[in-house]
Amino acid sequence: MKQLRIIIIAFILLTAGAFIWLTAGSDAQSLLFERIVLADQRIVFPVIIICALILLSTLSGLPILYLSMGIGFLLNFTPAMLICWGVNVLAVMASFFMVRSAFTEYFREKYGEKKLIKRINKGIGNYGLWSVVFSRAIYIIPTNLINFSFPLSSITTRSYLLGTMIGLIPECLINVLAGYLIKHEVILLSTPETRTWQAGIIGAFILLLLLVSILLRIRQIRRKKFRALKGIPFEN
């Protein structure tokens, strides 16, 4: 297992070094979109390459913002959104299994008995799905921090997968829509309007999640009261 950890760390360092070398002296966004424009009508190959880069970047902790935008630039909005969301879910889960298999045992042996870690694990054990959903939906929290930290916790694979599938919706929506609007010359990334609609999407999604969580909580309380009146034991 120690050898696997060394291999993974070396892979991350090499990938990060290659990224810095390739983008040295140029903006990553500009570099990507220049290559996309040169692709002309040959869309399938660039999309496959970008999807592969999303997987590679997620596993190595590199940014994927412009890659998701690139898919939105290349395709129509609906297929771009579905492809971006699907590839990101796949990449995040691959990262989850990589970290969990190689680092979780080491992390728990070294830090698992600390009070703070126990408290965090208890909270994630109770609200794991929603913790992932809100962490990803907020958008300003670095994605790589989420990808590399949650697998070290006690969260179940099912909760992490469902939370990721829901939480990635606003991120993919914002990134794909930005690329799509740039292609149609509606916005530029530097314009204040971009930040406004991005904040609007995030805010609306978080409000929706809060509403759903409140309704689920109310339903749970009502079920507890009903079972208490009927003398039926309540199971979580």
Question: Distance between CA atoms of 12 and 59, rounded to whole angstroms?
Answer: 8
Residue 234 lies in a domain: no
Residue 212 lies in a domain: no
**How does pLDDT run along the chain (236 residues), one tens digit per residue?**
778 888 888 888 888 888 777 777 666 666 676 667 666 567 788 888 889 999 999 999 888 888 888 898 888 889 999 999 999 999 999 999 999 988 888 888 888 778 888 888 887 877 788 889 888 887 777 888 899 989 988 888 999 999 999 989 988 988 898 888 877 766 555 556 666 666 777 777 778 777 877 877 787 777 777 666 666 655 54
d(CA 123, CA 117): 10
Residue 3 burial by Cβ neighbours in a 10 Å radius (0-12, 13-18, 19+) = exposed
Question: Does any domain span residue 42?
Answer: yes
Residue 228 inside a domain? The answer is no
C-alpha dihedral sign at 208, 209, 212, 215 = negative
Contact 209, 202 (CB under 8 A): no
Query: Among candidates 98, 91, 147, 159, which has minimal Cα distance to 123?
Result: 159
The reported pLDDT for the residue numbered 39 is 60
Of 174, 178, 200, nearest to 188 by C-alpha is 178
- Separation CA 3–CA 222 (nearest Å): 52
Tokens of 177: 């829509």
Which residue is it, tokens 């969580």?
213
Angle among Cα 31, 34, 35 to the nearest 5 degrees reads 90
At position 127, the amino acid (one-letter code) is Y
Q: Residue 155's domain spans which residues?
A: 2-189
Tell me the whole-structure pTM to 2 decimals.
0.78
Q: What is the pLDDT of residue 65?
A: 83
Q: Please indicate, yes or no, if residue 231 is contained in any of the structural domains.
A: no
Number of domains in the chain: 1
- Both structure tokens of 67: 């890659």
Residues with Cβ within 8 Å of residue 9, at least 6 apart in sequence? none
Q: Are 19 and 12 in contact (CB under 8 A)?
A: no
Give dist(CA 114, CA 208) in Å, integer. 35
